[in-house]
Structure 1
C-alpha cells in the first residue's frame, strides 16, 4: 500500500525516500496556483525533505523560520510568489543548501550573511531586499545600529541583573545576620 501511495504522490510532485517508507524526500509543487502561507511547522511535517520547490504560486506571508530545521534540505526554490518580510537568518544553518531562490517576491531588508553566496539573480525582483549580492542597503547604518543597540541593551540588562542580584544577596545576608547579632548582644549585657 505504501508503494502505491508513493507512486501516486510521485505523479503529483511528491517523491518518497523509498517506496517502503513514508518519508517524503522531494516536493515539487510549482505552477499549481497554491495560495496562503507556507505552513509554519513545515519541518515537523516533512523533516527529511531534500528538495522543496514551491515556485510560481501565490504563497503569501513570511518565509517560515521552521524551514531551517529541515537539515537535509539541498534545494529551496520559492521564487515567483507573494512572500513578504525579511529572509530568516536562521536559514544559514542549512549546511547542505546548494540552491536558494527567492526572486520575484515582496521581500525586504538585508540579505542574511550566510545566504550572500548565492547569485544576485536568486534575490532579484524584491523591491525592498538589499545587501550583498544586491545593492547596498539604504540606511545600512540603521540596520547595523539596530543590531548594535540590541546587543548593548542585552549587555546593560545583564549587568543590571548581576548588580541587582549581588545587592539583593548582600541585603538578605545583612537582614538575616542582624537579628542574630541583636540576640547575641542581649546575652552579653
Structure 2
C-alpha cells in the first residue's frame, strides 16, 4: 500500500468523522466530559470553573471549556482534549468512549498515576495523537495501542512504565513522533521504532539494541562471560585431562 493511498484513506476517515458530527446528537460528548471531570482530581479547580456542562441544547457551549477543541464551534462534538499542565491527579480519566469523534488526547504535565488502561484503543479508537508524558503512569504499555491504526504521535516519556515495548508496535506504520524516554522499560526495541533517535529511548536501563549504542551493562557482562565459557571450556577440559594423566591434580 502506497503512502498516497494511506493518506487518502486517512482523509476519508476524517471526513466521515466530521460528517458524523452533523448526523448524530452531541449528548454522548457532553456525557464524556462529565465522566472525565468526575473521574479526575482537580485541586486547582480549573475544570470545575470552566467546564459548564449543564446547558444542554445550547449549540457549541462545551467548545469554550478549557482544553476542549470542537470539530465545529456550533456543534458540541469534541475533536481533541488538551489538558496539559493543569495540575490534574488520579487514575487515567474515564468516559472517553463517549467522545466518539475525538482524535487527540493530551494529558501531559499532570500528576496522573496508575496503569494506562488496556481498553484505551477500544475506548478511543480514532486517536492519532496521544501525549501522556510527565506523569506517574506505571505498569506495562498496553499492546492494544497498536490497534490505533492512524496513530501519528505517541509520547509516553517521563513516567514509571515498565516491561517491554510491545512487539505489536511494529504495526504503527504512520508514527511520525515517538518517545518513551525516562521510564523503567526493558527488552529490545521493535524494529519499526528503531528509526527514531536514541534519545527517545534513553533513561531505560533495561532497553537494548538499535538505535541505542549497546545493550544494558548487566546483559553485556553476562553475555561476555558466556562467550568466554564457550571459547575456553573445551581447552581447559583438554588441559585438565592431560594433567591428570601425568599424575597432577587440578
Counterparts in 2 of 1:40-189, with a 5 A limit? 40-137=118-215, 138=219
1:24 aligned counterpart, secondary structure: coil
Q: 1:78 to 1:45 in 2, by over 3 A?
A: same
How far did 1:117 drift?
0.6
Match of 1:5 among 58, 62, 73: 62
Query: How far apart, CA to CA, are the structure 1 residues paired with 2:170 and 2:70?
Result: 26
**Match of residue 36 from structure 1:** 114
Q: Is the 8 A contact 1:61 1:82 kept in 2?
A: yes
Measured in 1, the distance between the counterparts of 2:195 and 2:70 equals: 30
Q: Which has the larger radius of gyration?
A: 1
Pairwise CA distance, 1:17: 5.1
Moved more, 129-138 or 31-40: 129-138
Give the TM-score normalised by the residue count of structure 2: 0.51
Q: Per the alignment, in what secondary structure is the counterpart of residue 34 of structure 1?
A: strand
Please report how far the alpha carbon of residue 6 of structure 1 lies from its aligned counterpart in structure 2 after TM superposition: 4.7
1:92 offset after TM fit, Å? 1.4
**Which residues of structure 1 form unaligned runs of 5+?**
143-189
Aligned length: 139
Change (3 A) 1:5 1:88: same
Deviations 1:12-42 (A, max 9, x none): 3x54555554411111100110000001010
**Aligned with 1:129: secondary structure?**
strand
Contact preservation (8 Å) 1:53, 1:77: yes
TM-score normalised by structure 1 residue count = 0.67
Q: 1:60 to 1:122 in 2, by over 3 A?
A: same
RMSD: 2.3
Q: Distance in 2 between matches of 1:95 and 1:57?
A: 26
SS of residue in 1 equivalent to 2:195: coil
1:54·1:77 contact (CA, 8 Å) conserved in 2? yes
Specify every segment of 5 or more residues in structure 2 that has no aligned partner in the other structure, as ranges: 1-25, 30-59, 78-99, 224-250
2:102 maps to 1:24: yes
1:55 Cα deviation from its structure 2 partner? 0.2
